[in-house]
Amino acid sequence: MNNYEQLAKKIVQRAKKKGAKQAEAFLEIGRQSSCRVRNGEIEDLTEAASKGLGLRVITKDNRLGFAYTSDFEPTSVDSFVDRALQLAQTAAPNKLNGLPTAKEMGKPGKTGELYDSAVANLASDWKIKTALEIEKAGKAVDPRIATFNSVGAGDYVAEVYVASSEGLSAGFSGTYVYLFGAPVASENGQLQTSYWMDYKRFLADLDSPEEIGKEAARRAVRMLGAKRVKSQQVPVIFDPLMASSFVGNLAAAADGNAIYKNSSIFVGKLGKRLAPDSVTVLDDGLLERGLGTSPFDGEGVATRRTAIVEKGILKSYLYDSFTARKAKAQTTGNAARGYNSLPHIGTNNLYMEPGTRPPEEIIREVKSGFYVTAMLGRGADPVTGEYSRGANGLWIENGELAYPVQEVTVAGNLLKMLQDVDAIGSDLQFRGSAGAPTIRFKQMTVSGD
């Protein structure tokens, strides 16, 4: 057992000794570095280390206290425990306050490797070289790539430890590494921007800098000459990046707290069919090499694979232990947090399962429609399901991507959009902890001129 895990256990023991009925320590140690370049010059290079410790205590009369610190000196830690207990005394009692029980926590899941020594030991000039390569590859694609708004690379190494008076003491280490590029294409006074990026736990899984630069540039150049279209109702296709934000809207509607407050369109729909058989949306905390993979969630509950929608049927809401207790449900291992916050409901690796069809075929079947590659705004209102976002992309004519379109709005309703999913691509992509394949909706409103 290392010093950090021992420290977490010690803090819990001290809180108990001082009168806490339950106590939980959450410890995070990380270091990150990043580099950004512009026009072949280094714009900024940062390296930072961070560490922090959060303590949650529940008193005998069910009051909750929470405090955090980044000072690990023994005398500071002692007064920090006292502070959490003092804060609890001023809080209102709530019989639903409590930590997950040993039974609720279960056994931490098997995640496979989450730590890549190649990321942890990256040469300090790797980020500089890589970022410069992205920029160079992007500019070589087309003379109309005028500049890049931002280009960069970075890495992150972290350790997390949780100790609970309910019988848990565990930790894990993880890494991630990322690249991004946001070019500007220019022609006849028109400027078009785009971006492309990749985030992975393992260096070997990361797209090459050349791929990132080229794809970012290609996406910017193909938008040159973009215009608006007339308002109409047509089939709409989301590329994988936009489709993953749609999947995020579904998870927000399945948030157990929103359900409990009656502020989601998914209230009362558990077990009901919402979409065709082809639609399965999962939150999987144990996905191999996933960016959101971990053996346990922010309060020590074993993560798992939860089907939110399975073969079109709404199967589960997402819960942390407090919300589950309020709703008389079970936690799904979806407590997200940092050391400086109380747990709240979040997702692990969230994605829609891919179909079997290549995206080109899905586009080819559309006589007239809109292929969406970028959006503004936050998407759906989880309470009403109303969906309206500014969108850019490519117009489809006779099964071909014909010309670029910008400054239009794509609108619909989340429940109707789910029903209207009529094709799912085989091209599931993760560019972060949420992923999706290409998705086609039978009909949405595109508002332009």
pLDDT score for 42: 92
Closest CA to 368 of 207, 237, 217, 220: 237
HEC per residue, 232-301: EEEEEEECHHHHHHHHHHHHHHCEHHHHHCCCCCCCCCCCCECCCCCCCEEEECCCCCCCCCCCECCCCC
pLDDT score for 109: 86
pLDDT of residue 379 exceeding 90, the answer is no
Domain span(s) for CATH 3.30.2290.10 in the chain:
3-221
Output helix, strand, coil percentages for the chain, rounded to the nearest 5. 25, 40, 35
Section 347-372 average pLDDT: 98
Query: Is residue 402 a contact partner of residue 382, using CB atoms and an 8 Å limit?
Result: no
Q: Band the pLDDT of 241: cuts 50, 70, 90.
A: very high
Q: Which CATH architecture has domain 3-221?
A: 2-Layer Sandwich (3.30)
Query: Is residue 439 a contact partner of residue 309, using CB atoms and an 8 Å limit?
Result: no
HEC per residue, 49-81: EEEEEEEEEECCCCCEEEEEECCCCHHHHHHHH
Section 18-23 average pLDDT: 96
The percentage of residues in the chain with a pLDDT greater than 90, rounded to a whole number, is 96
- Looking at residue 422, what DSSP letter applies? E
Query: 3-state DSSP call for residue 385?
Result: coil
- Cα end-to-end distance, the chain, whole Å: 65
pLDDT of residue 175 exceeding 80, the answer is yes
Query: Is residue 177 a contact partner of residue 154, using CB atoms and an 8 Å limit?
Result: yes
pLDDT score for 367: 97
Q: Band the pLDDT of 1: cuts 50, 70, 90.
A: low
Section 162-170 average pLDDT: 95
Q: Band the pLDDT of 75: cuts 50, 70, 90.
A: confident
Q: What average pLDDT is seen over the chain?
A: 96
pLDDT of residue 268 exceeding 90, the answer is yes
Query: Is residue 285 a contact partner of residue 304, using CB atoms and an 8 Å limit?
Result: yes
- Alpha carbons 46 and 44: distance in angstroms, whole number: 7
Q: How much is the pTM?
A: 0.95
Section 94-114 average pLDDT: 94
The pair phi, psi for residue 354, each rounded to 5°, is -75, 160
| Pairing of the two strands 305-310 and 281-284 | antiparallel
Model pLDDT for residues 33-55, shown as the tens digit of each residue: 999 999 999 999 999 999 999 99
Q: How far is CA 211 from the centre of its chain?
A: 23
